[in-house]
Amino acid sequence: DIVMTQTPLSSPVTLGQPASISCRSRQSLVHSDGNTYLSWLQQRPGQPPRLLIYNISNRFSGVPDRFSGSGAGTDFTLKISRVEADDVGVYYCTQITHLGLTFGGGTKVEIK
Amino acid sequence: EVQLVESGGNLVQPGGSLRLSCAASGFTFSNYWMHWVRQVPGKGLVWVSRIDNDGNSITYADSVKGRFTISRDNGKNTLYLQMNSLRAEDTAVYYCVRGSDWPGVDHWGQGTMVTVSS
């Protein structure tokens, strides 16, 4: 099974400052077709998860451009350029495999 | 607008059964794979099962294999999860999730709460 480890577990951030979340896999996430289908989800308090980023760096429909994704192979990063109050919540990386979906453990973003 | 609306969650005793439904709208349901993902309140996300667009390919997490059955009715635009032999550890919010046009998922329902307790 692919294990995805997120760090930090919690990220207290000052409004307007950047935040960065890391997602690491024990094995390469490069698909047999050469693409990497790593996504990022946001879950605000009391809400279902919402897709933010797909295929490492593509913003999903309606996602503000202050969110960006990067990385390759086993190391991936989600960045929020300037944190807003609306960004509070838990962020998950996720990857689909032939066995199903795997998720990182989540990173909680909160305002200092 | 894509909408996924789950229903059927309830309080059930250990060993009991429950059927969850997910009504889909705003897209051509029969063109998409669908998934169930669950989440214990305050904890992380756990994938449960998936079904391909015509119901011929199905996969389950080991934790529910043999107890849960995923199915779909493309004529009714509805996804189902039949849950049998329920255990306390199945207590969670269950989300219906649409497979995306790329390998992955995109839209999530609001979730339905299943509580297994005596």
pLDDT at A99: 80
Q: Do A96 and B95 touch (CB under 8 A)?
A: no
Specify whether the CB–CB gap between A110 and A85 falls below 8 A: no
Tell me which chain A residues have a C-beta less than 8 angstroms from the C-beta of B38: none
Collapsed DSSP state (helix, strand, coil) of residue A31: coil
Among A39, A49, A99, the residue with its CB nearest the CB of B104 is A39
Specify whether the CB–CB gap between B98 and B25 falls below 8 A: no
List, in order, residues 6 or more apart from B89 with CB less than 8 Å away.
B63, B116
CA dihedral over B97, B99, B101, B102, signed as positive or negative: positive
Q: Distance between CA atoms of B45 and A104, rounded to whole angstroms?
A: 8
Confidence of residue A88 (pLDDT cuts 50, 70, 90): very high
Tell me which chain A residues have a C-beta less than 8 angstroms from the C-beta of B37: 101
Q: Distance between CA atoms of B76 and A42, rounded to whole angstroms?
A: 30
Task: Using alpha carbons, list the distances in angstroms from residue B113 to A18, B49, B68.
Answer: 35, 17, 16
Confidence of residue A32 (pLDDT cuts 50, 70, 90): confident
Task: Using alpha carbons, list the distances in angstroms from residue A21 to A30, A70, A103, B16.
Answer: 20, 11, 14, 41
Confidence of residue A31 (pLDDT cuts 50, 70, 90): confident
Q: What is the pLDDT of residues B31-41, one digit of tens each?
A: 999 999 999 99
**Mean pLDDT, rounded, for A100-108:** 95
Taking 90 as the threshold, does the pLDDT of residue A12 lie above it? yes
Asked if the C-beta of A55 comes within 8 angstroms of chain B's C-beta atoms, the answer is yes
